[in-house]
């Protein structure tokens, strides 16, 4: 199946070179992005991603090149053209093309790009065994709730995880576990699920929110509260969440093996699958 892209005002082949040298996303990371998972041809939590996209644009004072509804339509048209059923939709919006200067260009002319690619699917053996993570000091800027293109600290942390044979690096600030380089993190202790509150210091993950809602609907106690590395080590269960991982159990933290218990994680994962199927069914009913 072909991977399809859209840039500015036309659909293109994904490998076609189109980004001008003075594109502000290229030069400054001056932009935002979203990644949306598609299951059997149906995007999951599309509305929530579009809402977060609008919020991130507002937070960095960037006008969208099209109304959010039109960006969604273009993304779905790209998905249709690709004919990829298990896909990821990548949407990126930058402040556009202008002579290199730090302050905003005038007049504003933001640029949209969309990529449809095959989904990254977690291998079943990794999902069954759980994954290893490492911890690293959080050296990012203070506005992590903006889903911006400024990801160099995340890239460096993820590379350290890869070199350590781990799945993810968790950012820690004054011994408080915040989130992963590309994920949110949860622990379970005495039947209570805990995750860092949705402050400006973490990304407000869409899958994170779905899991929180799922837990509460299922009557599973959940607290949005800070927890320490020691609490992570002593947790009965721990797991990561993201658009591409869904829910993924943590087996080991910095060579510290966690409990093999996954009762709550497995229950949440099953409920998450049901929610996906329900949204897919509702999608077809409304199209």
Per-residue pLDDT, 2: 75
Residue spans of beta strands (DSSP E) within 78-174: 87-94, 111-118, 131-137, 168-173
Instruction: Check: CB of residue 118 under 8 Å from CB of residue 3.
Output: yes
Report the distance separating Cα 127 and Cα 131, nearest Å.
Answer: 8
Q: Is 216 helix (H, G, I), strand (E, B) or coil?
A: helix
Instruction: Check: CB of residue 105 under 8 Å from CB of residue 96.
Output: yes
Low pLDDT (below 50) residues in the chain: none
Interval 2-53: pLDDT, tens: 789 999 889 998 888 988 999 999 999 999 999 999 999 999 999 999 999 9
Q: How many CA atoms lie within 13 A of 248 on its CB side?
A: 26
Q: Which domains, from first to last, does the chain contain?
A: 4-118 (3.30.470.10), 124-276 (3.20.10.10)
Residue 195 bridge partners (DSSP): 186, 224
The token pair at 122 is: 């977690």
Per-residue pLDDT, 284: 75
- Name the catalytic one among 142, 147, 158, 276: 147
Per-residue pLDDT, 1: 57
- Residue 52, H or E segment: helix 46-59
Instruction: Check: CB of residue 255 under 8 Å from CB of residue 229.
Output: no
Q: Is there a catalytic annotation at residue 147?
A: yes
- Residue 78, H or E segment: helix 68-82
Residue 242 bridge partners (DSSP): 246
117-150 per-residue burial string, b: 16 or more CB within 10 A, e: under 16: beeeeeeeeebeebbbbbbbebebeeebbbbbbb
């Amino acid at each position: 199946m072909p991977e399809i892209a859209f840039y500015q005002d036309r659909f293109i082949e994904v490998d076609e070179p189109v980004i001008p040298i003075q594109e502000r996303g290229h030069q400054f990371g001056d932009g935002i992005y979203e990644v949306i998972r598609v299951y059997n041809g149906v995007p999951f939590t599309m509305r929530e991603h579009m809402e977060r996209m609008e919020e991130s644009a507002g937070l960095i004072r960037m006008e969208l090149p099209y109304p959010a509804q039109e960006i969604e339509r273009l993304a779905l048209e790209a998905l249709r053209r690709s004919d990829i059923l298990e896909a990821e939709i990548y949407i990126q919006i930058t402040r556009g093309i202008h002579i290199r200067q730090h302050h905003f260009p005038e007049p504003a002319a933001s640029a949209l790009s969309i990529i449809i690619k095959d989904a990254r699917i977690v291998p079943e053996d990794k999902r069954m065994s759980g994954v290893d993570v490492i911890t690293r000091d959080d050296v990012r800027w203070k506005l992590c709730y903006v889903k911006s293109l400024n990801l160099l600290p995340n890239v460096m942390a993820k590379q350290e995880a890869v070199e350590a044979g781990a799945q993810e690096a968790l950012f820690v600030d004054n011994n408080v576990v915040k989130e992963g380089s590309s994920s949110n993190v949860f622990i379970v202790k005495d039947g209570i699920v805990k995750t860092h509150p949705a402050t400006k210091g973490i990304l407000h993950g869409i899958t994170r929110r779905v899991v929180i809602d799922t837990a509460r609907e299922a009557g599973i106690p959940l607290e949005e509260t800070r927890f320490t590395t020691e609490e992570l080590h002593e947790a009965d269960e721990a797991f990561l969440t993201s658009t591409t991982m869904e829910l993924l159990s943590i087996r080991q933290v910095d060579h510290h093996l966690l409990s093999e218990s996954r009762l709550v994680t497995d229950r949440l994962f099953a409920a998450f699958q049901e929610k996906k199927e329900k949204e897919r069914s509702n999608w077809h009913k409304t199209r």
